[in-house]
Amino acid sequence: MLRSALEVEERTVLRSAVCVVGGGVAGITLASEFERRGIDCILLESGGLGANEATRDLYRGENAGLPYVFADGCRSRFLGGSSNCWGGWCRPLEDHDMTQRDWVPESGWPFDRSELVPYYERAHKVLQLGPFNYDVESWVSAINRSDVRRIAFSTSRVMDVLTQVSSRSRLSVVYRDLLRRSKYVRTYLHANVVDIETDPSTQVVRRVRVKTLSGRSFSVEATHFVLACGGIENARLLLSSDNAQPCGLGNGNDLVGRYFADHPRLTLGKVRFKPEWRKNRLYDTKFHYLSRAVSAHNTYVSAQFSINREVQKREGLLNSLIWFSSVFPGEGTDTAGALIRMKHRLHGKAGPGSSVWRDISLLYRHPIVTGSFVAARLWKPQTLVHTVQIEVVCEPAPNRDSRVTLTSERDQLRIRRVRVDWRLGEQVKRTFDRSVAIFAEELRSADVAEVDLVRPLEGREWPVVNPTPWHHMGTWHHMGTTRMHDSPKYGVVDRHGKIHGMANLYVAGSSVFPTFGANYPTITIAALSLRLADHLFERLKMGEALTTASSLSI
């Protein structure tokens, strides 16, 4: 059932076995599993089926750290969540990403990657990916094209890794019919959770209070509750639910909102390929992203580079991903920005203050730039490439002082807005510098290309990057604010995602990541959600009884 909360009677009390707050990747994955298993579930989504300015405004807040955009254009507050502005990139975390590393303080997960592997395999079906295979050589052999070739380096310091790309990344489109026809899952749109109410002990959640932007209020009671609102909103909702605990739910050790992380991304150099490598598509994002030429088994793939794990350990580096990005005529111009905004409007991503008529006028006044930019994006003629850049995404180290807090300003629902203070330490700078330097040395040694690198980052301020939704240092991977750990002294949730000290409140999504790797988080979000669905199914099957009120007035 797919229904608008605007149709729910005032002061109604809805009941279910599980209540999931948030209809993004985590929420939809959970809901689809509950439907398959016949578990009564209510899914509450703040937005509707498309973007809405009033709903989008609920995401806005203050930035107090590095120049950073975290609301307009990089999150989508409607059914499907951030999958509506996701590129489809999927690569599981590696063993190395989840283990404790002596040179990375507070690193490691409370369980091994082997426990996630079965769920990664199942996540392939959820995200409509190809076979669970990330071996570069097998994919290159299956593609079997002369312009899709691996680079053979002279040492093992640099290795190539494979990424699969979902061509059906908008989960609201993929799963809308399932949610509409579901027998066990009731999905309510325009349903904003404004408070989490507990019993007097604050150990059992009794209900969540729901409000629409039109002012209608009702509540949902359940046996188990799951917050699946994203890396910022999960923390915001816990912090703002402060009636019983002034510091917020799950925040007895002042950890909710801390360890906020994103994957920083920078352009750190340019390459001049030797003739035999100029047309290779495998490692260039402009030529491999959703390209039929770089696909096999009905699946799009791409490849990147990473620094060998032993080198990381020896030099005290974090993980990273490196790739090439060709630059076509018109890129970086105001005209290109207008074209990108026009595309993003189709997906509900354009931020406030962007006028469609102003953009149309700009395109009309610069037809040559408009035409060449569109032609380059559509047909990608390599003859028009005038430079090739090196782009690097770095793993952020856990940082307790990088955090999400609340301000005194309130949104239309009377919830305090967020302040995001994103911080990155010197280890991240060193990882950028050394990773790209090693990569450049290996490219030269293999006679693949000449490389010009930018000035090293260590010892100076972070480069000033104009923070817009389409150009800034982050990648919109909001992580870490309700981190997972076996001990409540070091984590907000336990290994199953349950908040420490609470009986029936769970958190899903990348906010539970304790360390982050350099890979795209979506497939790990889906895998963790499948794992949580199994856990909740077992708890419900055991018939665990919780002391919840059967009927309370609103």
User: Quick check: helix, strand or coil at residue 517?
Assistant: coil
Instruction: Give the three-state DSSP class for 446.
Output: coil
First to last CA, the chain: 24
Q: Are 12 and 512 in contact (CB under 8 A)?
A: no
* pTM, two decimal places: 0.92
Q: Is the pLDDT of residue 546 over 50?
A: no
CA distances from 143 to 139, 295, 296, 302, 446 (A): 6, 6, 5, 11, 23
Summarised one tens digit per residue, pLDDT across range 48-68 is 999 888 999 999 999 999 988
Residue 129 pLDDT greater than 60, yes or no: yes
The first and second tokens of residue 318, run together, are 């974090």
Give the C-alpha distances (Å, rounded to integers) separating 133 from 151, 196, 299, 334, 344: 20, 41, 11, 41, 32
Q: Check whether 359 has a pLDDT greater than 70.
A: yes
Give pLDDT, residue 38: 95
Dist CA 516 CA 319 (whole Å) = 9
pLDDT value of position 143 = 98
CA dist., res. 331 & res. 157, Å (int): 33
Statement: residue 133 has pLDDT above 60:
yes
Band of residue 374 on the pLDDT scale cut at 50, 70, 90:
confident
Considering the domain delimited by 1-127+168-263+399-422+476-554, tell me its CATH architecture. Answer: 3-Layer(bba) Sandwich (3.50)
Q: pLDDT tier at 356 (50, 70, 90 boundaries)?
A: confident
Q: Reduce the DSSP state of residue 498 to 3 states and report it.
A: strand
Residue 388 contacts residue 284 (beta carbons within 8 Å)? yes
Q: Which of 124, 42, 27, 8 is nearest to 77 (CA)?
A: 27
Q: What are the CA-CA distances from residue 233 to residues 14, 124, 230, 267, 429 (Å)?
A: 23, 26, 5, 30, 28
Q: What is the pLDDT averaged over residues 211-217?
A: 97
Sheet with 416-421: strands ordered across: 62-63, 416-421, 403-410
**What pairing do the DSSP bridges indicate for beta strands 320-327 and 217-227?**
unpaired
Confidence of residue 548 (pLDDT cuts 50, 70, 90): very low
Residue 98 C-beta-side C-alpha neighbours within 13 Å: 18
pLDDT tens-digit map of 92-104: 999 999 999 999 9
CB hemisphere CA count around 349 (13 angstroms): 25
Look at 236-245, 292-301, 368-377, 494-503 and tell me which has the smallest mean pLDDT: 368-377
Q: How far is CA 8 from the centre of its chain?
A: 31
Helix (H) or strand (E) holding 225: strand 217-227
Place of tokens 């908040």: 499
| Alpha helix stretches (DSSP H) within 284-366 | 285-288, 309-315, 334-345, 356-365
Per-residue pLDDT tens for 239-288? Answer: 999 988 899 999 999 999 999 999 999 999 999 999 999 999 999 999 99
Which pLDDT does position 352 carry in this prediction?
A: 53
pLDDT tens digits, 14-50 = 999 999 999 999 999 999 999 999 999 999 999 999 9
pLDDT tens-digit profile of 292-347? 999 999 999 999 999 999 999 999 999 999 999 999 877 767 777 777 667 666 65
* Secondary structure class of 481 (helix, strand, coil): coil
Nearest CA among 374, 371, 388 for reference residue 452: 388
Q: Beta partners for 209?
A: 195, 219
Q: What is the mean pLDDT of residues 517-545?
A: 92
CA-to-CA distance for 14 and 238, rounded, in angstroms? 21
pLDDT score, position 382: 75
* Predicted confidence (pLDDT) at residue 75 exceeds the cutoff of 90: no
The answer to whether residue 471 scores a pLDDT higher than 60 is no
Mean pLDDT in the chain?
A: 91
474 or 407, which is more confident:
407
pLDDT the model gives residue 370 = 72
Q: Which residues of 420-448 are buried (b: 16+ CB within 10 A; e: fewer)?
A: bbbbbeebbbbbbbbbbebbbbbbeebeb
* C-alpha dihedral (131, 137, 140, 145), degrees to nearest 10: -160
CA distance linking residue 253 with residue 435, whole number of Å: 36
Task: Give the three-state DSSP class for 279.
Answer: coil
The Cα 285–Cα 321 span in angstroms is 12
Mean pLDDT for the stretch of residues 170-185: 96
334-345 and 356-365 helices, crossing angle to 10°: 140
- What pLDDT score does 447 carry? 97
- Each residue of 448-470: pLDDT tens digit? 999 999 999 999 998 866 544 44
Structure tokens that stand for 170 in this block: 């908008």
Pairing of strands 416-421, 403-410: antiparallel
